[in-house]
C-alpha cells in the first residue's frame, strides 16, 4: 500500500494550472458591461442566450427550460430571463447526485478543427464554454489548436443502471389442521423448500398463525454489463453508438424485466435483424420504425403498436419504455417465455414469433441468421455478467481490455480498482484517501453500507493497514454481518499482486457504483 499515483496527480495539477490560466484569458474576452441580480437578468441589445449562460455559469439548455423558451435564438431586448446559480455540493449533495445520473447513454459530440477556427468560435457555435472544450479534449496547450485536430465538445455519457426489481416473498399463514405436506401440495413447492426458506428447526411442529415462507424475497440486479461500448464495437463490428444501444437494450431487459442473459441475447439478435440497433430506423412502406420496427409509425396497415408509447419519438429510452409497457401488458407471454430462456437461439425464435409476430416459415424471419446471432451475443456477453446479473469481479485484472488506458499508476490499488470498474468511475480521483470526496463531488453515493461487487472500499490513511499517507482502495466482493471481504492490489501480497482479505465493515467508507 505504497504511494499510489503521485506522478499522475502532479501531472494533473500542472494541467489544472494551465486550464486556470486559459480560463482567466477567456473570462477577459467574454466580459460584459451588464450587471445582473442573482436570480434574473434583463436582456440588452446584442445579447444572446449563449452569452447569458456564460455570464451565469449555466447552459443554454438550462435557461430555455427555466424560461419556457421554445426557440433559443429568439430573445427580446428588455425580456427578463430567470437564471440558475450553481449549488455547492457541500450544501446540496443530493442535487449533485441527481444531475450526475443521466437516464440513457449518449455518444461523445466531437468537432474537427478547420482553417481559421478558434476555441472561442467553436465554443460559441456549439453553445458550450471554452473551458468545457479544454477539459473534455484534455488540451495541455490552450493557445494552440491545429487543422484536423478532433476536439471533444461533449463527452460520452454512460447509461444509467436500471433500478433493481424487488420481488416480495410469497408467504402462507398456517391454519388449524394444516400439515407441511398439504401446504406444499397446495402451493406447488416441496416440503424441503418450505423448511429451508422458513428456517424451521422442528419439522414435526407447525402451529396455527405461524407464517411460512413459500418463496423467499428476490432482488433482481441483472442488466449490468461490464463490457464497454468500444470493446463490444470492436468485437461485433458495430459503431460505438450502436454497440452502446445493444448494451442498453440488454441492460434494460435483464435489469428492469428480469430476463436471463440467454433471453436478452435472443432479443438482441432480432433487434439486429430489424434495425441494426438504430432507434431511428424507419420503413415508411411498412409503416414501421424503431429498434424492433413497431407498426403504426407512418401507416396503420399492420396495426398501431406505437399508440402504447409515451411519446412519438425515435429515441432509445422511449422505445425501451415501450418494450416494458408491452411486456407487462399484451405481451406478458413473451416475458414468461423469453425472459426465462436458457437457450439464446430458441429465445431469438420465440421473440421473433411472439413479439414481432413473424412466422418462422416466413423468409423475413431469417431463422438461421437470428439463431447464429443470438448465440454470438450470448458468447460475447457471458463473461461480463455473472449468473445473478451482478457485476463480475475479474480474478486477474489482465483479463480486462482496459489496462493500457488506465489513468492511475500501474500495479497500485487505484490502478486495480479502475481496471475493475473501467469507465464507470473517474479518471482523476487522486490518491486513494481522496476517492470518497471526489466520487461524492461527481454525484456518486458514498456511505457506510457496502454491497458485494457494486462498491469500492475507501480506507483513510492508517485504517485497517492502509498506507499512513495515501490511504487505500479495494473492491468489495462479499458482505457478512459486520465484516466485509475485499479484493485488493498492493495489499498484503505486495506491489502489483492481488489478494483477498476480510476487514471490519466500519474500517472503510464505500462508493456505490450501481448506476
Q: What is the pLDDT at residue 98?
A: 31
pLDDT confidence of 359, banded at 50, 70, 90? confident
Contact 352, 270 (CB under 8 A): yes
Instruction: Report how far apart, in Å, the C-alpha atoms of 45 and of each of 33, 34, 51, 211 are.
Output: 12, 10, 12, 74
Q: What is the pLDDT of residue 371?
A: 95
**Tally of CA atoms within 13 A in the half-sphere of 165 that contains its CB:** 16
Q: In the predicted model, what is the mean pLDDT of residues 474-501?
A: 85
Q: Is 454 a residue whose pLDDT tops 60?
A: yes
Q: What is the pTM of this model?
A: 0.39
Instruction: Kindly report the number of other CB atoms within 10 A of residue 129's CB atom.
Output: 21
Degrees, nearest 5: CA angle 275-334-257: 85
β-strand partners of 154: 109
Q: Which of 308, 304, 246, 305 is nearest to 278 (CA)?
A: 246
Q: Give residue 451's pLDDT band: very low, low, confident or very high (50, 70, 90).
A: confident
Cell of 84: 440558475
**Locate cell 458485494: which residue?**
452
| pLDDT band (50, 70, 90) for residue 157 | low
Give every CB contact of residue 366 below 8 A, 6+ residues apart in sequence: 273
CA torsion sign, 153 to 158 to 159 to 164? negative
pLDDT in tens, 203-245: 788 999 999 998 887 555 445 676 778 888 888 999 989 998 9
Which secondary-structure segment (H or E) carries 22?
Answer: helix 6-29
Q: What is the DSSP letter of 471?
A: B
Task: Please choose, from the candidates 58, 130, 129, the residue with its C-alpha nearest in 3D space to the C-alpha of residue 99.
Answer: 58
**Cβ–Cβ < 8 Å for 283, 295:** no
Could you tell me if 487 and 395 are in contact, meaning their C-beta atoms sit under 8 angstroms apart? no
Look over the chain and give the mean of its residue pLDDT values, rounded to a whole number: 78
Query: Residue 285: what are its φ and ψ, rounded to 5°?
Result: -65, -30
Domains along the chain with CATH numbers: 50-84 (no CATH), 109-153 (3.10.350.10), 170-214 (3.10.350.10), 224-386 (1.10.530.10), 413-512 (3.90.1720.10)
Q: Using N-to-C axis directions, what is the helix angle for 6-29 and 119-126, rounded to 10°? A: 80
Amino acid at each position: 500500500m505504497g504511494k499510489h499515483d503521485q506522478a499522475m496527480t502532479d501531472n494533473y495539477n500542472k494541467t489544472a494550472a494551465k486550464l486556470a490560466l486559459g480560463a482567466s484569458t477567456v473570462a477577459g474576452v467574454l466580459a460584459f458591461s451588464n450587471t445582473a441580480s442573482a436570480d434574473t437578468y434583463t436582456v440588452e441589445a446584442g445579447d444572446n442566450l449563449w452569452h447569458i449562460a456564460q455570464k451565469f455559469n449555466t447552459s443554454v439548455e438550462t435557461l430555455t427550460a427555466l424560461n419556457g423558451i421554445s426557440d433559443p435564438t429568439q430573445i427580446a431586448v428588455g425580456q427578463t430571463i430567470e437564471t440558475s446559480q450553481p449549488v455547492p455540493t457541500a450544501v446540496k449533495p443530493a442535487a449533485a447526485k441527481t444531475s450526475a445520473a443521466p437516464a440513457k447513454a449518449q455518444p461523445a459530440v466531437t468537432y474537427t478543427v478547420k482553417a481559421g477556427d478558434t476555441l472561442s468560435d467553436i465554443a460559441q457555435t456549439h453553445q458550450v464554454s471554452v473551458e468545457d472544450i479544454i477539459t473534455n479534449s484534455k488540451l495541455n496547450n490552450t493557445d494552440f489548436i491545429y487543422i484536423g485536430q478532433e476536439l471533444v465538445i461533449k463527452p460520452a455519457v454512460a447509461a444509467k443502471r436500471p433500478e433493481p426489481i424487488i420481488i416480495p416473498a410469497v408467504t402462507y399463514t398456517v391454519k388449524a389442521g394444516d400439515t407441511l405436506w398439504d401446504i406444499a401440495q397446495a402451493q406447488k413447492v416441496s416440503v424441503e423448500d418450505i423448511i429451508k426458506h422458513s428456517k424451521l428447526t422442528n419439522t414435526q411442529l407447525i402451529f396455527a398463525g405461524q407464517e411460512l415462507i413459500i418463496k423467499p424475497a428476490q432482488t433482481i440486479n441483472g442488466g449490468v454489463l461490464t463490457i464497454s461500448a468500444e470493446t463490444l464495437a470492436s468485437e461485433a463490428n458495430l459503431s460505438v453508438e450502436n454497440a452502446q444501444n445493444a448494451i442498453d437494450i440488454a441492460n434494460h431487459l435483464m435489469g428492469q424485466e428480469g430476463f436471463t442473459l440467454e433471453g436478452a441475447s435472443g432479443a438482441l439478435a432480432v433487434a439486429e435483424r430489424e434495425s441494426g440497433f438504430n432507434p431511428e430506423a424507419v420503413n415508411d412502406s411498412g409503416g414501421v420504425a424503431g429498434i424492433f420496427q413497431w407498426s403504426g409509425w407512418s401507416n396503420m396497415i399492420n396495426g398501431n403498436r406505437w399508440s402504447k408509447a409515451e411519446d412519438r419519438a425515435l429515441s432509445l429510452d422511449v422505445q425501451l419504455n415501450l418494450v416494458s409497457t408491452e411486456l407487462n401488458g399484451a405481451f406478458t407471454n413473451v416475458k414468461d417465455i423469453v425472459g426465462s430462456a436458457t437457450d439464446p437461439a430458441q429465445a431469438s425464435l420465440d421473440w421473433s414469433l411472439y413479439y414481432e409476430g413473424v412466422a418462422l416459415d416466413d423468409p423475413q424471419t431469417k431463422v438461421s441468421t437470428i439463431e447464429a446471432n443470438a448465440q454470438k451475443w450470448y458468447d460475447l456477453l457471458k463473461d461480463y455478467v455473472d449468473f445473478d446479473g451482478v457485476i463480475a469481479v475479474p480474478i486477474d485484472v489482465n483479463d480486462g481490455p482496459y489496462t493500457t488506458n488506465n489513468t492511475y499508476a500501474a500495479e497500485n490499488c487505484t490502478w486495480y480498482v479502475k481496471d475493475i470498474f473501467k469507465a464507470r468511475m473517474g479518471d482523476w480521483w487522486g490518491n486513494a484517501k481522496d476517492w470518497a470526496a471526489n466520487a461524492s463531488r461527481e454525484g456518486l453515493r458514498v456511505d457506510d453500507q457496502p454491497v458485494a461487487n457494486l462498491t469500492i472500499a475507501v480506507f483513510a490513511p492508517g485504517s485497517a493497514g492502509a498506507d499512513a499517507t495515501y490511504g487505500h482502495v479495494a473492491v468489495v466482493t462479499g458482505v457478512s454481518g459486520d465484516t466485509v471481504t475485499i479484493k485488493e492490489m498492493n495489499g498484503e501480497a505486495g506491489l502489483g499482486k492481488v489478494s483477498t482479505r476480510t476487514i471490519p465493515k466500519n474500517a472503510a467508507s464505500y462508493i456505490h457504483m450501481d448506476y
